[in-house]
Amino acid sequence: MAKKREKSKKPAGFTKGVLRLLILLVTSLLIFAALVLPELISQSNIPTGVGEASAQEILAPYSITFESKVLTERARMQAAAAVSPVYLPVDPSISRRNFETLNSVLYYISAVRKDSYGTQEQKLKDLAAISSIKLSSTVAEQLLEIDDQSWQEIETEARRVLEQVMRDTIRNDNVAQIRSNLPAVIDFSFGQDEAQIIIALVSPLITPTSLFSEEQTNLAREQARASIEPISRQIIAGEVVVRRGQIIREEDYEALNVFGLAKPVNQTDRIITNAVLTGIIAVITALYFIRRQDQPFFSIKALLVIASMFILFLALGRFLVVDRTIVPYLYPVAAFGLTLSIIFNLEIGIVMSLFLAILMVFDTTREAELGVFYLIPAVVGMLTIGRARRISAFLAAGLLTGVAAMAVVVAFRLGDTYTDLIGLTSLMASALINGLASGSLALLLQNVVSQILDVPTALQLLDVSRPDHPLLQYILRNAPGSYQHSLLVSNLAEQAAEAIGADRMLVRVGALFHDAGKANNPAFFIENQMKGKLDSHDNLDPATAAATIIQHVHDGVALAKKYRLPSRVIDFIREHHGTMLTLYQYSQATAAADDPESVNKALFTYPGPKPQSRETAILMLADGTEARSRSETPRSDDEIRALIRKTIDTYKNEGQLDATDLTLKDLSTIEESFFQTLQRSYHPRIQYPTLRTNGNADSNESNSAG
């Protein structure tokens, strides 16, 4: 039978393992998409070069002051362009050389004019052959036609004009102007044709006497560039860097580059780095949950809820929050960890908050600051809220979360050159709002998640444990003895639960409702019978009596479902007797039977199951201990200890505690807690003296001190 059971369990366990692996893989893929897609989508609308039109308005995600290479280079180019060309001092040798050239040309022309053997055509060719001065055909003909007297006058005037002009400083930029002013320098006694000849002879020989120095000019320009200090540009968070439809200028593109908003990053590298990080987180998560298989959050439904919440917080953050200015400091990330710590425990709240903080800020601006901002306040909130037994706990946790967030802002931003006083104040106010919003959101989320997972929260348990709860009122009216018994058991169990670190609130509420089914048939149970009229049901068939007693478990479950009690509370009703026998009725049946072995134990056995948690096991022990103490009424400490030990040993020997993780140390602690509680319950009473009136004893006697 055992082997068959093992074989039947393997497929179920294998299926659950596959489902958990599938949840991990799908969650990892969604995490990867949340990391990569926002960047891909935003890059599609971002300009990639100067001269393009921006498809969207781009705001500065944070304040920054940076050295603008574009503006600095522009200012340096303007300074260099403003430098005037540098010229060397006037070189007299240039004037002398030009004057000598003029004399040579005049001598050559005179020789051509005097050549009696040369024809007109030959003389024109000779004049055209002058290399230093290019004479037009018209001027050449005029030179041959004028008389000697006029030629001599022209020679003299040409020398005078060139000498006069070359005495001034001539540079490249004024050569043309000087040449154009030659007619004004020539003596007015010369006619128009003669003046044109003089200009033709002198003009080509007017050259710069003060030469341009490229080396010194470049040096002066470099000095001018060096004198320009680097230009810093400050952009305030939220400032418009580029407007929609604006043509991107060099300085705009530079600013976009500084913020990482211009050039599309190497998407292959981004995909690889995000995939690696996602893989690391997935492996660590898998190892963590494998090590915590005994925890409630290892169930399929719990894993789905945790994964869904994680993806929701991460996706909203990556798509809508992180790349903005103020919104990241308003995003209530701490609500995620607070919810997990309330529903499950502090450990998973911290672990999952750490993973969320890492993924939220990975490869974004101000990674360190936002990472600490999202993690530290969340941890503070989780440590503050505890089990969240009151609404005020959420307010306190939210307030302290906000204060911790403000402290993180001060730690990173105080003294930051990019953040002024107004900016610091705005961020601190946002941090405080963040904390309060986290507490409020956690209050909402814990209700939603608890309903989905059917895991009662402390607030729900407090609500159902109120004395005016309809089911408690039903028990009180119909079965007051069972109600009082439940109160005593709840006190006994709650103290023991606290002693071993179990959920005391859950134990108390479970104890209050564990015997709810007795309210349907209260007179059958001894605690609801009047003193002196006890009915031991000896007149009933033992099997019938046992079935009636066992029925209170089924009736209790039905009532609990009718009044919508949480499943964890219903577990206490199912498991508080485990699979124990109704021993009194079974003993009657075996005594009346000819063959005790023929008695069917199943007719006298509670349906169970055995306690599946420490909390339901504590209730079983407390219920049995209270019942024994009521029937045996121990009077001494030794009797109380013996009663408790006997009760615990009975359940332990019957294997009722095998499905729980109670240790021997836990059982020892529970035993001591029971003893302390019962010892106070069975304290000795004070015997009051008899009052006498006129020598007669008073008939109203008090035997105890209440």
Q: What is the pLDDT of residues 471-500, one digit of tens each?
A: 999 999 999 999 999 999 999 999 999 999
**CA-closest candidate to residue 10, choices 18, 303, 612:** 18
Share of the chain above pLDDT 70, in %: 90
User: For position 683, what pLDDT does the model report?
Assistant: 54
Which range is least confidently modeled, 209-218, 503-512, 649-658? 209-218
pLDDT grade for 653, boundaries at 50, 70 and 90: very high
- Is the pLDDT at 157 greater than 80? The verdict is yes
Token pair, residue 153, equals 């006058």
Sequence-distant contacts of 556-562: CB under 8 A, at least 24 apart: 556/513, 556/514, 556/515, 556/516, 556/517, 556/518, 557/517, 558/517, 559/471, 559/474, 559/516, 559/517, 559/519, 559/520, 560/471, 560/513, 560/516
Residue 692 parent element (H or E): strand 692-693
Q: Judge whether residue 37 has pLDDT over 90.
A: no
31 Cβ contact list (under 8 Å, min separation 6): 278, 281, 282, 310, 311, 314, 359
| pLDDT for position 516 | 93
Does the pLDDT of residue 691 top 90, yes or no?
Answer: no
86 CB-near residues (< 8 Å, 6+ apart): 212, 213, 216, 217, 219, 220
Name the pLDDT band for 8 (thresholds 50, 70, 90). very low
The mean of the pLDDT values for the chain is: 86
pLDDT number for residue 7: 44
Can you tell me the mean pLDDT for 33-37?
89
Percent of the chain at pLDDT above 90?
41
Q: Taking residues 651-663, report their average pLDDT.
A: 92
The pLDDT score that the predictor gives to residue 166 is: 87
Coil vs helix vs strand at 233 = strand
Residue 533 reports pLDDT greater than 70: no
* Residue 420, pLDDT above cutoff 80: no
323: confidence class by pLDDT, cuts 50, 70, 90? low
Give the integer Cα–Cα distance in Å for 493 and 572.
12
What is the crossing angle of helices 137-145 and 92-114, to 10°? 60
**Residue pLDDT, tens place only, 613-634:** 999 999 999 999 998 888 888 8
Mean pLDDT of 401-417: 90
Q: What is the pTM of this model?
A: 0.66
Per-residue pLDDT, 85: 86
90: buried, middle or exposed (CB in 10 Å: 19+, 13-18, 0-12)?
Answer: middle
Confidence of residue 268 (pLDDT cuts 50, 70, 90): confident
Average pLDDT over residues 567-591: 90
Instruction: State yes or no: pLDDT of 556 exceeds 70.
Output: yes
**Better pLDDT: 464 or 53:** 464
Domain positions in the chain = 15-41+266-455, 92-205, 479-681
Tell me the average pLDDT across 675-692: 66
Ranges 45-54, 266-275, 615-624, 641-650: which has the least confidence: 45-54
Class of domain 479-681: mainly alpha
411 confidence band (pLDDT: 50, 70, 90): very high
Give the model's pLDDT for residue 33: 92
Q: Looking at the predicted structure, is the pLDDT value of residue 701 above 70?
A: no
Name the H helices within 292-363: 300-316, 334-343, 346-361
> Has residue 104 got a pLDDT over 70?
yes
pLDDT of res. 3 = 43
Q: If you average pLDDT over residues 448-477, what whole number do you get?
A: 90
